[in-house]
A and B are shown apart, each in its own frame.
Chain A
Amino acid sequence: MTQEIPNHPRPVVPPLESSALPARRVETLAGGMTVTLVPAGVVPIAAIRVVVRAGSADVPAGRTWLDRLVQDYLGEGTESRDAETFAGALAALGGRLDIEGDEHTTTISTEVPSEHAPAAVTLLAELARAPRFPEGSAKRLLEDLERTLDIAGSQPQWLAHAGFRRAVYGDHPYGRVLPTSEGLATLGFRDARDFWHERAGLASTTLMAAGLFDEDAVLEAARRGFEGWGAGSRSSVAPSEASTTRSIRIVDRPGAEQSTLQVGRPVPAPGHPDYVAFEVLNSLLGGSFYSRITLNIREDKGYTYSPRSSISSRPGDAYWVEAADVTTNVTGASLREILGEVERLRAEPPSEEELAGILNYVAGSFVIRQATPGGILNHLEFLDLHGLDVSYSASYVARVREVTPAEVQRLAQEYLDPAGMPIVIVGDRSQVEEQVAEFGPVEEAAGA
């Protein structure tokens, strides 16, 4: 049939213009709380987030998931409205309450039609300032967490994540992903209440909104809503001492059809002069569909469906990790290919052509990711967390364009020595152990 096909020449795309990102309006309230407003888009919606600098890393040893109990408690209403009344008030504006957290933040967010943005800010401020923490809810919330823990323990991706964190960070808070059942049972409503009241306040909180909304009215709602709140306290977490030694840990899952792998190691964190170039390296190596590892173990060998590398970061801390669920009988072969691709990048720089394509991808993705209200707020949170300012965003694309093949090779040599990479495998130990013997001694059985 080929002869029927007209030969339209393939269009050549003109070079990407550096595009201006949406302008930010930053205001500081009495007490030092920052409000960042970003008018954007054409859809009459406003995305609003209250970001409190308190997260899992602020939880003492033995109290893992206290931060999650706090998050669940934030769904239990405020001092003046119970859970159902508060949720109903937000729903009447079209909003649903979304509460998330990570190592250093707890985020209360919602999205509402534009005209309700100020009223939604008022409600979120009420919740941030005065959550209810009813003692009577503690038993139910802890049972829910116990169930969540039990289910997490049955999911190979959760186990791989927890195992990898433990291998990299040991007993540092970043290494504590899953609690024990016994540890969970010691938590109570007072712990949750005290955690929030000690930390949340004007000095530890920022408000951000993006989309279409009346900026002055949102600002006024924020002023009134947060006026007179206490200062709170910003966390100080001991620096991590991430491991750079090879270890192999197998979490046994008898009969598993696939092995769930994580392999990686610490790398430069956001703000480090090498960070942006490392993002380029990541996209080239495993962080995009047309990356080397994905082309190899998926598109050439068919070992896996969704291999992916990524950079996981916290202030002053980051690691690179490749994660994949591979057919059990090619567990060793998959690791060999993954580490082989790392070695290849260390041995020779990428071609100018390959790198040029990746640079465009990284630059274009940066612009695309900030074309939604939620994407804009994700970027603002990233900047805030890492102490970066608007100049990071403004210079990002130019910095990407400066990356050279030699620089990518240098980064691979400097930061990605496979000999220093912990490996975690969640799979059928009896099938897997022999396959991975070539990568080093396998640790004795380990829990999460």
Chain B
Amino acid sequence: MTSLPAFALDIPVERHRLANGLRVVLSPDRSAPIVCVAVYYHVGMRLEPPGRTGFAHLFEHLMFQGSPHMGKMELVRLVQQNGGTLNGSTRYDFTNYFEVMPANALDLALWMEADRMRGPVITQAELDNQRDVVKNEIRVNVTNRPYGSFPWLDMQARAYENWHNSHNGYGDMADLDAASLEDVRAFFDTYYSPANAALVVAGDIDTEEALRLAQRYFEDIPAAPPPPPPDLSEPRQEEEKRWTRVDPLATRPALAVSYHVPERGTPEFYAMGLLNQALAQGEDSLLHSELVLKRGLTGEVDGGINFLGHMHNAQTPLLWTSTLVHDSDVTVDQLIEAYDAVINPLLERPLGEEVVHRLRAKARSGLLRTIAEGVYPRFGVADLLAVFELLEGDAARVNEIDARFAALTPEVLLRTAQEYLRPTNRNVLALEAGANS
């Protein structure tokens, strides 16, 4: 090609709803002979019951242990021996299961996910085995790792008032020990119904054929009423909160600074996305300039809106959180003073058009990367489609993201900064290095 028009996001989206309530989203991309099949259940760490922390995640593991027509790990074997790869994950609001396969395995992939949607068929031995695996997952990612719970578990436990948002979604070991096969059955019956799920097929597909196969395998799964939505609401934070925690494995202190963000879907939410770009994304960001280049307080400042993903793939309440690791001769007050020097001007005057233009360019490019790249090709687009379908009721809104960013004026950004980056909305967690020698 010799010239290209300016980028416009136009992902093909075809939406259907089966008789049992299952939402089906199809998105063809015929540029390579592969397909991603993803099933999203609208239940995550936020919805598990008290006394059963970590259960949503343990349940995800059990979904690989057998279903009516597949034995333990048979789904994994079938994916692999037909040339594919797979994964699953548990997030705040949803749990996903997906495989990326050669396009000729679409039929099998849909058959397998439909069988899995009929529920885990597992023994006590399989539950016990996966409980051990999950405990080892927690050890390797949290308890045996410096900064393992920092900032996500540490900060959400402190900054949120609502138990759904604040509790440890990896689970307390005692709760994991208490989980029984009866819990598995009850959790499945409550949350894993077709009407509480979305199936997304993205890649080298003929949409008519994909729909026909989806109907064949999924439509006779019995309907069940979707669970009532949980109350995730948080009160408006009215004063700054600060905490200190000692990490016995860490050798250098660290800091996390969090602010509650606007409600998903609002102009302010998208404005917070651009403020995240301004503050913490890339080496042109304000925090990098001030804290790294100018003051030399740290080598790197991270930031983001979702501990378990990005701004688009979680429901609010969420926290915008910035983290850094520093040396022991740098004080928390020094760091906060530097954050203030960066953030306060955003509350006082609007950003220039040119700056906002750059923020939009960065946000747009980030979205393109999410869609185009990744270890699991086509999963990035499938993920976006699934979360917009589940959380906003329409997968096609993925194509509006760019326009939502483009519509933001410097005044909206100012207004958003004034409400959401105000000091009284701030949570500061200082991590002390317990292994400092």
Contact = CB atoms under 8 A, between A and B. Distances in A.
Contacts of B299: 141, 143-145, 147-148
A372 B373 contact: yes
A123 interface: no
A428 to B, nearest CB: 10
A17 interface: yes
Given A16-B104, A83-B283, A300 B377 contact: no
Contact of A372 (B69, B327, B361, B377): B377
Given A44-B4, A96-B283, A306-B140, A361 B81 contact: yes
Could you say which of B30, B83, B281, B365 has the most chain A C-beta atoms within 10 Å of its C-beta? B83
A340 interface: no
A14 interface: yes
B145 interface: yes
B341 interface: no
Given A113-B7, A325-B144, A368-B85, A5 B118 contact: yes
B325 interface: yes
B178 interface: no
Interface string B85-107: 11000000000000011101101
Given A257-B143, A305-B133, A325-B144, A112 B296 contact: no
B49 interface: no
Given A87-B282, A367-B34, A155 B145 contact: yes
A10 B108 CA distance: 7
Contacts of A368: 34, 83-85, 100-102, 377
Contact of B33 (A19, A212, A289, A375): A19
A256 B282 CA distance: 35
A111 interface: yes
B327 A147 contact: yes
Contacts, number: 261
Contacts of A1: 119
Contacts of A167: none
A371 interface: yes
Contacts of B187: none
B327 A13 contact: no
B82 A13 contact: yes
A114 B358 contact: no
B216 to A, nearest CB: 7
A115 interface: yes
Q: Chain A contact residues: over half helix, strand or loop, or mixed?
A: mixed
Interface residues of B, number: 92
Contacts of A112: 365
Contacts of B364: 94, 113
Interface in A215-261: 215-216, 256-258
Contact of B81 (A295, A299, A356): A356
A447 interface: no
Contacts of A372: 372-374, 377
Contacts of A288: 80
A43 B368 contact: yes
A4 B133 contact: no
Contacts of B108: 10-13
A321 B214 CA distance: 41
B196 to A, nearest CB: 18
Interface in A5-26: 5-8, 10-14, 16-17, 19, 22
A151 B361 contact: no
A8 B139 contact: no
B231 to A, nearest CB: 32
A87 B373 contact: no
Could you say which of B68, B284, B327 has the most chain A C-beta atoms within 10 Å of its C-beta? B284
Interface stretch (B38-46, B233-241, B247-255, B392-400): B247-255
A88 interface: yes
B83 A16 contact: yes
10 contacts: A11-B111, A14-B104, A42-B31, A96-B281, A154-B251, A295-B73, A303-B136, A306-B140, A357-B80, A371-B31
Question: Lowest 8 CB-CB distances: which A-B pairs, in order?
Answer: A364-B83, A302-B132, A357-B81, A94-B365, A144-B299, A87-B284, A371-B377, A43-B372
